[in-house]
Amino acid sequence: MASLSATLLDSFVGKSVEDLCPLGFGKVSDDHNHCAHFVGHVLKLNSSVTTGLTCAGMVHAGKKHPTAGALIRVNDIYNFCADLDDPNPLGCLAYYTLKSNIGADGLMGTMRQKHVGICFEGHVYNYGNRNDKVRKDKVGDLANLYGKATITRYTMLPMGHTVLTLDEIKGLVPK
Ligand SMILES: [Zn+2]
């Protein structure tokens, strides 16, 4: 089992959703937003950790390889994790959305303008949906992702997560 490190996270930079998902959900230039999907695979977030729609649910209606799948919605991850005031340099999650997408109850809604990445040692590793590759930004560089109304939020890493290498992610589905 791996632990979060710059070496591990750097190894994902430049990978596309087709490289990442062992279930084959997602194609380069499709209409899906794969930022949560990327975070979900690296941290092994699926039905064994929390509820929410996963790529296994999209591909096999959840009947095959449920624990090889990953959450694919930013709000399902955000609403499961404990809030942080400031990023933890040793690992946390960073989110970008619009203020109107956070309800009075503090939960994130389903607006399309929502983005998540893994924050580590001053960088945010996140799936760039525009060029369909994992990218590495400096903390703060995505603060205007949706224009001036963008808000940034941080949470702790999800309870029960497991850090996986790309080989371990792929290994969850037998060839
Ligand atoms: Zn997947």
The average confidence (pLDDT) of the chain is 94
Count of positions (residues) in the chain: 175
Calculate how far, in angstroms, residue 107's C-alpha sits from the geometric centre of ligand 1.
24
pLDDT at res. 60: 82
Calculate how far, in angstroms, residue 83's C-alpha sits from the geometric centre of ligand 1.
25
What residues contact 147, with CB distance under 8 A and at least 6 apart? none
- What is the share, in percent, of the chain residues with pLDDT greater than 90? 87
Tens digit of pLDDT for each residue in 129-172?
889 999 999 999 999 999 999 999 999 999 999 999 999 999 99
Calculate how far, in angstroms, residue 169's C-alpha sits from the geometric centre of ligand 1.
9
pLDDT at res. 65: 87
pLDDT band, residue 119 (cuts 50/70/90): very high
Calculate how far, in angstroms, residue 117's C-alpha sits from the geometric centre of ligand 1.
16
pLDDT band, residue 174 (cuts 50/70/90): confident
* Distance from C-alpha of 82 to C-alpha of 99, rounded to nearest angstrom: 18
Between the CA of residue 167 and those of 8, 120, 171, what are the distances in Å? Answer: 11, 21, 6
Calculate how far, in angstroms, residue 148's C-alpha sits from the geometric centre of ligand 1.
31
- What is the share, in percent, of the chain residues with pLDDT greater than 70? 99
Calculate how far, in angstroms, residue 18's C-alpha sits from the geometric centre of ligand 1.
9
What residues contact 45, with CB distance under 8 A and at least 6 apart? 39, 70, 71, 77, 158, 161
pLDDT band, residue 37 (cuts 50/70/90): very high
For residue 105, pLDDT beyond 80:
yes
pLDDT at res. 84: 97
